[in-house]
Amino acid sequence: MARKPPARPPEPGPRYEALLQLLRTAGALWSASHALFARWELSPSQFNLLNLLYPGPAGASQVELSRSLIMHRSNVTGLVDRLQARGLVERRERLDDRRSYRVVLTPAGARLVREILPHYYAAAERVWGDLPASRAAAIAADLARVFSHALAEAEDLGRAPDAAARPR
């Protein structure tokens, strides 16, 4: 009986290397964010929550925050708890619905965001190096398309993120 030659493994498509580079870049950006915010004893997720609340005095509900942060509400609860313990945010009951609350920045939270933003914006510019702003805008548009396709793929696989997390 003749042996069959081993099947050749499938070859990656022409865009596979771009996907790997995107994932490497996301990891490097996350690491850089951790290093940047460590100075203020914040995680990137904690800063993102504070930044979402700044400068809006009305605050946001936990559901709104979870949608904007693209994370489960229970994770937002933990973020809010830690930031509230530091006096950076507070929960305020809603007058129209006493079963829910709004998360708002405290004056200390607003001061901290104002302190961090110049460093954050400068770092955000530095990661692009000498890439022209017009090229960065084109990449952002391309990534928005990739994001939409990734969401569709997740839906096809039955693992779609919360529909509320989709960009508007």
- For residue 38, what pLDDT is reported? 97
CA–CA distance from 151 to each of 8, 74, 100, 103 (Å)? 30, 22, 30, 28
* pLDDT in the model for residue 159: 67
Q: What burial class does residue 86 get, using C-beta atoms within 10 Å of its C-beta: 0-12 exposed, 13-18 middle, 19+ buried?
A: middle
SS3 state at 91 = strand
Bridge partners (DSSP) listed for residue 102: 92
Count Cβ atoms within 10 A of the Cβ of residue 76 and give its class: 0-12 exposed, 13-18 middle, 19 or more buried. Answer: buried
Rounded mean pLDDT for each run of 10 residues along the chain, 168 residues in total = 83 93 96 97 97 91 90 91 97 78 95 98 96 96 93 82 49
How many other CB atoms are there within 10 angstroms of residue 47's CB atom? 20
> What's the pLDDT at 108?
97
* Greatest distance between any 2 Cα atoms in the chain: 81
Q: What is the C-alpha to C-alpha distance for residues 74 and 22, in angstroms, rounded to an integer? A: 28
Q: What is the pTM of this model?
A: 0.80
